[in-house]
Amino acid sequence: MADLGQDDIIICEGVKKWFGDFQALTGVTTRIKEQEVVVVIGPSGSGKSTFIRCINRLEAHQEGTIVVDGIELTNDLRNIEKIRAEVGMVFQQFNLFPHLTVLDNVTLAPLWVRKTPKGESDAQAMQLLERVGIPEQAEKYPGQLSGGQQQRVAIARALAMNPKIMLFDEPTSALDPEMIKEVLDVMKELAQSGMTMIVVTHEMGFAREVADRVLFFDYGTIVEEGTPEHFFTSPEHDRTKLFLSQIL
Amino acid sequence: MTGRIVLPDTEPERPPEPPPHGPIVWAHENLFSTVASGILTVVVGTLVVLFLVGVLGFIFGADRRWDAVFFNTRLMMTQAYPEDQYFRVWLSLGIIVSLTGLSLAVWQVGGRVSLNRITRLLSSIGAGLIGLEVLGPFSIRARVIGILIGLVLIGGSYLVKRAAGERAKQETIPLMAIVGIVPALGVVALYVLRIPTRLAEDNYAEQVLAPIANSTRIPITVLFVVGVVAYSVGVLMLDRMPNATARVALVGLWVLSLPAIVLTILRDPELDYDKILAIPGFQEGYLWWAVIFAVGGSLLITYLGSPARGEGGRAIGGLLVVVALASWGVSMLVLIRLFLLFLATFALAAPTFGGGEGRARARIVGLWVMTVAAAAYFVVLVSGPSTVQVQTTFFIGGLFLSFILAIFGIVLSFPLGVLFALGRTSSMPIFRLMCVAYIEVVRGVPFITWLLTAIIVFPIFLPLGVQVSNVVAVLVMTVLFSAAYLAENVRGGLQSVSGGQIEAAKALGMTTAQTTVFIILPQALRAVIPALVGQVIGTFKDTSLVIIVGLFDFLAIARNVIPNQRVPFNNLDALTEPLMYAALVYWIFTFSFSRASQRLEKKLGVGER
């Protein structure tokens, strides 16, 4: 597996997590390098969403250690806020703020968390909206946009904090088929620009094309991992073979 | 880099057929769709007509005598406010009217409505007028005039609609131009109408119809003009300055104007300059204390708000809260205690909301200096005795007292209610328990009980030497009572904000305070506007309960001015007209409030996420 190099930006050791009596993570150990694009796949209920939500501590893990960018995740609130500012997240349901315009959605966090001056954050937000292809929608409200456009705004909003890592939690699962491509295009461009990304998705084409590494989750742990070629052509584990035979 | 989806633009060849419409179609579909519903329509319609004939006959009957209402207008508005000081009342109204005009323009209340809707509105008014004239107990002459006006309205709007044709749907007119007609007609009425007037001061029997006095109609005319001018200025302002700036400035003016009107203009306090300008001690030197706090506080806030300090500066804010609370146990100027309390709040907020930009910090420092100035100004004014000499517990009563209690009750209870709601949903058990206990106890006891408590029990717990007037005690109680109900309404809104919103904010690194202020509260409050308006209307109507503790609000005076003017005298019968008048006044305010809130709701797009 990954060596102990200096460029490991996320280190997970035996991460375990329970929801009541149900064990969602049964011991996840992995390291993710800077600029690496990791795609997480697996059947529903396998713990893949819980895993990436532990990385920015939207869920608190109960055993094991998670170190992000050299900071260990503990209950220390200040560390958590610091890490969340460095880790962008894109949700399945977009979670844009419906009472704010697209521009305000993007500038809110830079203004109040990074304390960026208004003019600067506005200019940066317009740049990002241009990058995701919707600068003309800046003054509209999220409710006036299509699902694909909303998800692209959500990506711009996360990028506005200049994060070191981007987490994607099934970013295309709530979209109409004709809108999936526009979101995946933005994500591909992001991967090519050298962003560290962890993507939970059911888009196998995206995994094959963009991922550096694929993690296959089941029963709350990593069952198999490897490069996309290895993973899709010669999987070793029976569980992986069964999963792939069902979806491909 | 993104594929845009282009829909084929195939316009249908022929325009879509209009659905069948017209009054006959409507009546068939809605009133006579089956035999049973036809019978029901006829029976209920007959009952409604009979009911209306009865009610209108009662209201407009020949034996109604409205003179009691006309004679006592001044009393019902302001109680015994001295006549020679009446310009203060008009000035207060002038400030309120001009701020209202500006606000209506700047918030673009009403927007524009289509010609179509206006013609529909006018013809329904015409139809209503005709119905009123037919069913009501009016003289032939009044009936003919009324029905003619109704027909002119219906016919005129029909002709306008015909002439405009298809354009009637697109052509729009600012709603305010239409709404403004109502006060304009009122002003015209002042010069046309004649009201029952006593021939001699103490002679109630001999009355004549006389024009309304100039001392009433000239100020009201001026107020109307002021309102129109303010609205026009507001419209001009919209084009010249950023909307957000205008709105913030107006909110500030409203907040300042309310205490300014009540405490300075109406109260006309007598100031003790020796105490104000004295060398600062713990009992005097108001002005210098204000300067000390303005300068010292600005330095502290600048220090705490700098990005280098980070959020650690909150510890100093926490310390200040303790000092501020402790100061209430020590004898000193109330002003200093208030300053400490405000400074603690600012110190707590500075690290989170100060912003790193020089300008953002300058803004919060500016806000601090303004807070100090405003607090010093008002505390000085309140500490001087009122020069308005009235033989009652408060310098003003009547409708003005109702307004003061309602407006301050609503404005002050709002932030408190939000705090209680946040407390009740907080994850800190002790805090939550305290809020739940407070809300349940307050809501579980009738308001009148609390009013009596405020007058009888509160004074026992006040620090030695501190006295509050009944009005202040009642106001505090109104705020505390209304806050408990508001808290429950706001809690409903808080629950409607999805967990995903909070997660998104957290994932961006926002603190809990920032998430609450920028994400949760705006959405929560927007979701519960109807409930909040219900609470506001309730608070306004509840002010009529203060008669229980001896304050003379509008309704109390309306009930008490009567028993003199009817010969032969009959107490029960004599109450009729003033009570109907009081009901009408309350209804006008609550109804316009509810309509305004409906428009606000529509504008904020509740329900269309």
Contact A58 B355 (CB under 8 A): no
A187 contacts chain B (CB < 8 A): no
Q: Which residues 514-533 of B have a C-beta within 8 angstroms of A?
A: 514, 518-519, 522-523, 526
Which of the four pLDDT bands, split at 50, 70 and 90, describes residue B68?
A: confident
Domain contains B74: no
Give the per-residue pLDDT at B274: 82
Whole-number Å distance between alpha carbons of A28 and A44 = 17
Contact at CB, B2 and A157, closer than 8 angstroms: no
Q: Quick one: A48 exposed, middle or buried, by C-beta within 10 A (0-12, 13-18, 19+)? A: buried
- State which of B367, B384, B401 marks the end of a domain: B384
Distance from CA of A137 to the nearest CA of B (A): 14
Whether residues B350 and B366 share a domain: the answer is: yes
Residues of B in contact with A185 (CB under 8 A): 1-3
Write out the two tokens for A85.
């500012």
> Are residues B397 and B77 in contact, defined by beta-carbon separation less than 8 angstroms?
no
- Higher-pLDDT residue of B573, B600: B600
Whether residue B597 sits in one domain with residue B546: yes
Cα separation, B110 vs B107, in Å, equals 9
Tell me the chain A residues in contact with residue B5 when contact means C-beta distances shorter than 8 Å: 178
Residue B120 forms part of a structural domain: yes
Contacts of B510 in chain A (CB under 8 A): 108-109, 112-113
Mutate to test the interface with B, among A112, A114, A140 (most CBs of B within 10 A): A112
Tell me the average pLDDT across B418-429: 91
pLDDT tens figures, B319-357:
888 998 888 777 778 888 889 999 998 888 887 776 556
Mean pLDDT of chain B: 84
For residue B605, pLDDT beyond 70: no
Identify which of A161, A184, A159 has the alpha carbon closest to the alpha carbon of residue A173.
A184
Q: Which of B384, B419, B446 is the last residue of a domain?
A: B384
Q: What is the pLDDT of residues A67-125, one digit of tens each?
A: 998 888 888 777 888 899 899 999 999 999 998 999 999 999 998 888 888 888 999 99
Residues B107-158 have pLDDT tens digits of 776 677 788 888 888 899 999 999 999 888 888 898 999 999 999 999 998 8
- Closest to B508 measured CA to CA, from A153, A114, A116: A114
Q: Kindly state whether A193 is in contact with chain B, defined as any CB-CB distance less than 8 angstroms.
A: no
Instruction: Report the domain count for chain B.
Output: 3
Distance from CA of B3 to the nearest CA of A (A): 6
Residue B248 in this model has a pLDDT that exceeds 50: yes
Closest CA to B418 of B503, B355, B479, B342: B479
Q: Averaging pLDDT over each range in A4-8, B278-282, B296-300, which range is the top one? A: B296-300
> What tokens does B343 get?
């400074």
- Residue B454 counted as domain residue: yes
B511 lies within 8 A of chain A by CB: yes
Which of the four pLDDT bands, split at 50, 70 and 90, describes residue B464?
low
Residue (of B442, B446, B412, B399) closest to B551 by Cα position: B399
- B508/A113 touch (CB, cutoff 8 Å), yes or no: yes
Q: For residue B59, what pLDDT band results from cuts at 50, 70 and 90?
A: confident
From B529, B539, B532, B527, select the one nearest B607 (Cα to Cα).
B527
- Domain-ending residue, one of B329, B363, B384: B384
* CB–CB contact B1 A88 (8 Å): no
What does the pLDDT average to over B377-389? 80
CB B250 within 8 A of CB B102: yes
Query: Residue B120 is encoded by which pair of tokens?
Result: 């529909």
pLDDT for position B21: 76
Whether residue B373 is found in the same domain as residue B413: no
Q: Report pLDDT digits (tens) over A166-218.
A: 999 999 998 988 889 999 999 999 999 999 999 999 999 999 999 999 999 99
The vertex-B125 CA angle with B123 and B126, nearest 5°, equals 60
Collapsing DSSP states into helix, strand and coil, what is residue B453? Answer: helix
pLDDT at position A2 is 41
A132-169 pLDDT, tens digit per residue, is 999 999 989 998 999 999 999 999 999 999 999 999 99
Which pLDDT score is estimated for B1?
A: 43
Q: Which residue of A has its CA nearest to B357?
A: A117
Q: Is B255 part of any domain? A: no
B321 and B364 belong to one structural domain: yes
CA of B501 to nearest chain A CA: how many angstroms apart?
Answer: 6
- Is A186 at the interface with chain B, CB within 8 A? yes
Contact: B509, A186; criterion CB under 8 Å: no
Asked if B608 reaches chain A (Cβ–Cβ under 8 Å), the answer is yes
Q: Between β-strands B194-200 and B172-174, what pairing exists: parallel, antiparallel or unpaired?
A: unpaired
Q: Who among B501, B510, B523 is closest to A113 (CB)?
A: B510
**A132 within 8 A of A56, measured Cβ to Cβ:** no
Q: Are residues B358 and B300 in the same domain?
A: yes
Q: Are residues B451 and B520 in the same domain?
A: yes
B259 and chain A in contact, CB less than 8 A:
no
Is pLDDT above 80 for B530? yes
Determine the pLDDT at residue B161.
Answer: 83
In Å, how far is B604's CA from the nearest CA of chain A?
9
Q: Look at residue B124 and tell me if it is in a domain.
A: yes
Assign residue B146 a region: left if phi > 0, alpha if psi is -120 to 50, beta otherwise? alpha
Helix segments in B281-385, DSSP class H: 286-305, 314-326, 334-353, 358-383
pLDDT at A4 over 50: no
The pLDDT > 90 percentage for chain A reads 64
Residues 18-77 of A with CB under 8 A from B: 56, 58
CATH number of the domain that residue B476 is part of: 1.10.3720.10
Contacts of B356 in chain A (CB under 8 A): 114-117
> Residue B93 is part of which domain span?
82-249
Apex B221 CA angle, B219 and B227, nearest 5: 100
Do both B467 and B370 map to the same domain? no
**Pairing verdict, β A213-218 and A37-41:** parallel
Minimal Cβ distance to A84: which of B357, B359, B509: B509
What SS3 state is found at B135?
Answer: helix
Joined tokens for residue B188: 């015209």
Residues B407 and B293 in one domain: no
Residues of B in contact with A133 (CB under 8 A): 1-2
Residue B221 above 80 pLDDT? yes
Residues B229 and B210 in one domain: yes
In a domain, B162, yes or no: yes
Same domain, B411 and B325: no
Closest CA to A160 of A103, A224, A236: A103
Does residue B309 sit at the A interface (CB-CB below 8 Å)? no
Q: How far apart are CA A78 and CA A84, in angstroms?
A: 10
Tell me: do B419 and B563 sit in the same domain: yes
Using 50, 70 and 90 to split pLDDT, how confident is the model at B607? very low
Vertex A66 angle, CA A60 and A71, to 5°: 105
Please count the residue pairs, one from chain A and one from chain B, whose beta carbons lie less than 8 angstroms apart.
Answer: 97
In a domain, B261, yes or no: no
The answer, for A113 touching chain B at a CB cutoff of 8 Å, is yes
B332/B457 same-domain check: no
B267 lies in some domain: no
pLDDT at residue A3, rounded to an integer: 45
Work out the pLDDT band at B360, boundaries 50, 70, 90. confident
Nearest to B380 by CA among B479, B277, B296: B277
Q: What is the DSSP string of B345-369?
A: HHHHHHHHHS-SSHHHHHHHHHHHH
Cβ separation B500–A93 shorter than 8 A: yes
**pLDDT at res. A114:** 86
Is it the case that residue A44 has pLDDT exceeding 80? yes
